[in-house]
Structure 1
Amino acid sequence: MGFEVWPEAIELGELFNEHGYELALVGGPVRDLLLQRPSHDLDFCTSARPEEFEPILRKWGHGFWDMGRKFGTLGAMKRRADGSEIGVEVTTYRRDTYDPDSRKPEVNYGDSLEGDLSRRDFTVNAMALRVPQCEFVDPFNGANDLNKKILRTPVDPAQSFDDDPLRMMRAVRFVAQLGFRIEPETAEAITRMVDRIEIVSAERVRDELTKLLLSDNPRAGLEALVESGLADIVLPELPALQLELDEHHRHKDVFEHTLMVLDRAIALETGPDGPVPRPDLTLRLAALMHDVGKPKTRRFEPGGKVSFHRHDLVGAKLTRKRLKALRFDHHLIEDVSDLVALHLRFHGYIDEPWTDSAVRRYVRDAGHLYHRLNRLTRADATTQNKRKARMFSEAMDDMEARVIELKKREDIDAIRPDLNGNEIIEILGVEPGPIVGEAYRHMLEFRLDHGPAEHDEAEAELRRWYAERSAQ
């Protein structure tokens, strides 16, 4: 085979060989080697038992870990001459059996490399490279499938997915990550067996969905997720966007529009030093979920028009509920839900440019999501009308330029009243309590409306408001 193998793999193979044990590089690293893709961690399997190869691994590397000991897996890091590190995991040959009500395997050690490869998810991951001799092992024609960009299971797909239903999610993830297609018999098995995904923990489904979304081409994976029927269980809001079009096509295919918005949002991600570095899970999830409120809010109006009133707020609630069910991080859930709730906020600017007060409120409400919200808003403008598209883009450019100018004059990223709580208490001569909070909120509104004020001006406004309130 015409490829250069990691020197660390050869070195480790020689050590195992000296002790009379077999060692083979397996799975993703072998696939990536053939695809000439970088691989930062190396996976191996061996004829040795963990207690037998543990001393070898400890002596060879550093940072030894054994969290997977009960599955026959031990790991270590190796520091290279240039200061970089590479991680390795070594697992004893296995032949797993599964409880049909769980995806956790009962680990039984195997006695051959070929037997170990047969229990892997897809043929493209069931290839191995024996080290140090660099003998390529491919009992299920994975290299041929790799060349044809096909995903196929080494054994009967029904058996494979019944053993480990998470493999169905991995299939659609690989469609996105590798640009592969699922072989027809394998795809049919997924469609027949989608209900099996319900025994998989939400966290593992979330992890696969995250990897899919962070890939170079999430659209293909999401289409496969919906076509397979998996989305009906793990992300039902997505297939629900496939609304039936009315006969006159007066509204867009929301599912297709969503995928287009996702593509456009990804194109607007920035470099590592930009405000929204690629890949950005928050922006991509927001683009995916921004219109999930439309099916529940669709109304057919007189004259054949279709409306989706308040779909932004309804969508934010649905987004929060779904991401919680998938066990996403609390902060991510709040950020994505807020972006969905705010994604229509800018649209009024096009008809009539906002006052400085309105711009300040937009920036305040967006908070740390300001740059993501602007990118989501731009991505959502998918009109084919060139004049409308140009007007929208120019309006967005204008608003962003105004924000930059305002920032030169005042701190609009963290707008606070010109008077703090203690100053309000001292000026009004009141005790701490609800009145102070009420006054604080009024002074915040005053700051948003008029910009920063001198202390005397702010004090005069506070006294005016308090006198007016007391007279009521």
Structure 2
Amino acid sequence: MISLDNPRDSAERVVSDLLRVPSLADELGRIFATHGHTLHLVGGTVRDALLGKLTATGATGGAPDLDFTTDARPERVLEITRGWAEATWEAGIAFGTVGLARRGARLEVTTYRAENYDRGSRNPTVSYGDSLDGDLVRRDFTVNAMAVSVPDHQFVDLFGGMADLSRGVLRTPGPPAVSLDDDPLRILRAIRFEAQLGLTPTPELVAAMTARADRLKIVAPERVRDELRKLIVAADPAAGLARLVDTGAAAVVLPELPALRMEIDEHHQHKDVYTHTLTVLRQAIDLEDEGPDEVLRWAALLHDIGKPRTRRHAPGGGVSFHHHEVVGRDMTRRRLAALRFPKDVADAVTSLVFLHLRFHGYGSGEWTDSAVRRYVHDAGPQLRRLHKLVRSDCTTRNKRKAAMLARHYDSLEERIAALAAQEEISAIRPELSGDDIMEILGLKPSRLVGEARQHMLDFRFDMGLVGRDAAVAELLRWARKRGLAVPGTPAGSGESATSPGDHA
């Protein structure tokens, strides 16, 4: 956080930080000034500069993304930047935003505006404003309502955003109820900023968020999804998720999370699944290798969402959650589909939720090589994430039990590595392809070919690599048992010989 010992020095510091990107910001500012318009860097660009996160090369080493506000209308922005911008996009023009690209940087220029929802709307309605002051007061939070003019670098902070940033406080420029009524998505944005930047919402803001959580129902699923995806990869998503639940917002946008707060009575003791879930999420984050892993984090958050629907009380005080991984898989798929998640992300998360309990059948190493191969095959490209999820899922306070589970998983990983050294197990497939099967058995494409291929895959799991001749012999044996006419055996002979690969 910045220091406010000398406010003037702080104001000069933001200008100094922004001067690291003058070649684009000032260049564009001069174009606007030449055409009689004002231009200000605004919002997250200024906030990140105050936090020391904005450099000439951007936060992640690439060219910076810059946000501007202007008195020019969108059509005018396109007109005066024609020839200067290397590319433009108009996807946001209905909301007053024009996108520009130059020298690898993405710049968004938005006309002074005011936006709000009516009670039945799923998207904001936009009206253009005529002043910078009017534009800043309608912004979501004071820390995003600061501006710096370009090219002359006059710092504008009408609502104390710099002071709030220094104190770690999240406030709205105007009354919070009005701000959240203008755009209910700001409830999720407040939660995300708490998780991302460590800014604590004021009590007044929290009260307004809680009172208006139900209004999130009118927000388009895609906008909700985008905020939740940013939240899950924040520095401290567990803090944001707790706020999501406490304000009632989760009950609207992610109801499976508060449902984990199942009542626990003295006769049926079991672990608090909600608290356990947040612990698993934190432990999964600790195992990340290279920055936030969105798929792993979603899997950690959703891995037990099937428990409330599968909880059963047993005589004597026991509690069971049989098949909660199957129910959880289906619930995960439906929720991520409702939020319009990309298919690849949804498929990966769903697979991990389904597989997270598989290891617990491993015991102290009783699995056959076939079972280990199946584990690797079913995990597919998610195997490394599955390793991390399973390890994170151990939250017992019993140190001896935790150590035992860790040893067992170490053993499983060692066996996977040993098998991988002998054969390719990361992409196991039958030694005979579908074309091979059709040629050998004289079949045309059909369900029977699929059944034969599945049998040969099971045979591959059980026996490992046996070579083409042995694989062909097994296919013929299977076909004869099925009563198929194959070379050397009359149809319907019903040969009864069996082998370790017999799965018919």
TM-score when normalising by structure 1: 0.92
Which residue of structure 1 aligns with residue 491 of structure 2? none
SS of the equivalent of 2:301 reads helix
**Counterpart contact for 1:97–1:107, Cα < 8 Å:** yes
1:57 to 72, 81, 88: 81
Which residue of structure 2 aligns with residue 23 of structure 1? 39
SS of the equivalent of 1:358 reads helix
1:46 to 2:65 alignment: no
2-structure distance, mates of 1:25, 1:378: 45
Q: What does 1:253-272 align with in structure 2 at a 5 Å threshold?
A: 253-271=272-290
2-structure distance, mates of 1:227, 1:172: 11
2-structure distance, mates of 1:212, 1:194: 17
2:203 to 184, 188, 192: 184
Which residue of structure 1 aligns with residue 223 of structure 2? 204
Q: CA deviation at 1:153?
A: 1.2
2-structure distance, mates of 1:160, 1:229: 18
2-structure distance, mates of 1:249, 1:67: 54
2-structure distance, mates of 1:67, 1:465: 58
1:122 to 2:147 alignment: no
1:290 to 274, 283, 303: 303
Q: Which amino acid aligns with 1:410?
A: E
Q: Which amino acid aligns with 2:29?
A: G
1:456 to 465, 469, 477: 469
1:174 to 2:198 alignment: no
1-structure distance, mates of 2:148, 2:248: 36
Deviations 1:412-449 (A, max 9, x none): 22222233344445545666655444333222222111
Q: Which amino acid aligns with 2:358?
A: R
SS of the equivalent of 1:77 reads strand
1-structure distance, mates of 2:434, 2:123: 56
Which residue of structure 2 aligns with residue 275 of structure 1? none
Which residue of structure 2 aligns with residue 250 of structure 1? 269
Superposed CA RMSD in Å reads 2.1
**Counterpart contact for 2:170–2:200, Cα < 8 Å:** yes
Q: CA deviation at 1:190?
A: 1.1
Which residue of structure 1 aligns with residue 184 of structure 2? 165
Q: Which amino acid aligns with 1:393?
A: A
1:370 to 2:394 alignment: no
Q: CA deviation at 1:464?
A: 3.4
Q: CA deviation at 1:292?
A: 0.4
2-structure distance, mates of 1:126, 1:432: 64
Deviations 1:368-406 (A, max 9, x none): 211111111111112222222222222222212222221
Q: CA deviation at 1:469?
A: 4.1
Deviations 1:85-132 (A, max 9, x none): 222222222233543322544433322111110110111111111222
SS of the equivalent of 1:339 reads helix
Q: What does 1:253-402 align with in structure 2 at a 5 Å threshold?
A: 253-271=272-290, 278-402=291-415
2-structure distance, mates of 1:469, 1:94: 73
Compared CA separation, residues 367 and 111, structure 1 to 2 (3 A)? same
Deviations 1:447-467 (A, max 9, x none): 111111123322333343344
**Counterpart contact for 1:100–1:163, Cα < 8 Å:** no
2:115 to 93, 96, 107: 96
Which residue of structure 2 aligns with residue 33 of structure 1? 49
Compared CA separation, residues 103 and 27, structure 1 to 2 (3 A)? farther
Deviations 1:198-217 (A, max 9, x none): 11011110110000011121
Which residue of structure 2 aligns with residue 138 of structure 1? 157
Deviations 1:54-105 (A, max 9, x none): 34423443213333334333232221xxxxx222222222233543322544
Which residue of structure 2 aligns with residue 447 of structure 1? 460
Q: CA deviation at 1:176?
A: 1.1
SS of the equivalent of 1:372 reads helix
**Counterpart contact for 2:261–2:272, Cα < 8 Å:** yes
SS of the equivalent of 1:115 reads helix
Compared CA separation, residues 36 and 187, structure 1 to 2 (3 A)? same
2-structure distance, mates of 1:95, 1:435: 63
**Counterpart contact for 1:42–1:87, Cα < 8 Å:** yes
Greater CA deviation, 447-456 or 358-367?
447-456
TM-score when normalising by structure 2: 0.86
Compared CA separation, residues 302 and 87, structure 1 to 2 (3 A)? same
2-structure distance, mates of 1:314, 1:42: 44
Percent identical pairs in the alignment equals 55
Compared CA separation, residues 386 and 109, structure 1 to 2 (3 A)? same
SS of the equivalent of 1:285 reads helix
**How many residues of Structure 1 are paired with residues of Structure 2 in the alignment?**
461
Compared CA separation, residues 456 and 171, structure 1 to 2 (3 A)? same
SS of the equivalent of 1:20 reads coil
Compared CA separation, residues 17 and 441, structure 1 to 2 (3 A)? closer
**Counterpart contact for 2:68–2:109, Cα < 8 Å:** yes
2-structure distance, mates of 1:429, 1:410: 30
Q: Which amino acid aligns with 1:67?
A: A
Q: Which amino acid aligns with 2:91?
A: M
SS of the equivalent of 1:270 reads coil
2-structure distance, mates of 1:199, 1:292: 25
SS of the equivalent of 2:211 reads helix
**Counterpart contact for 1:92–1:109, Cα < 8 Å:** yes
**Counterpart contact for 2:187–2:209, Cα < 8 Å:** yes
2:214 to 195, 214, 223: 195
2-structure distance, mates of 1:165, 1:430: 60
Compared CA separation, residues 14 and 279, structure 1 to 2 (3 A)? same
SS of the equivalent of 1:108 reads strand
Compared CA separation, residues 421 and 399, structure 1 to 2 (3 A)? same
Deviations 1:228-274 (A, max 9, x none): 10000110000011112233783211111111111111222223xxx
Q: CA deviation at 1:318?
A: 1.0
1-structure distance, mates of 2:192, 2:287: 22
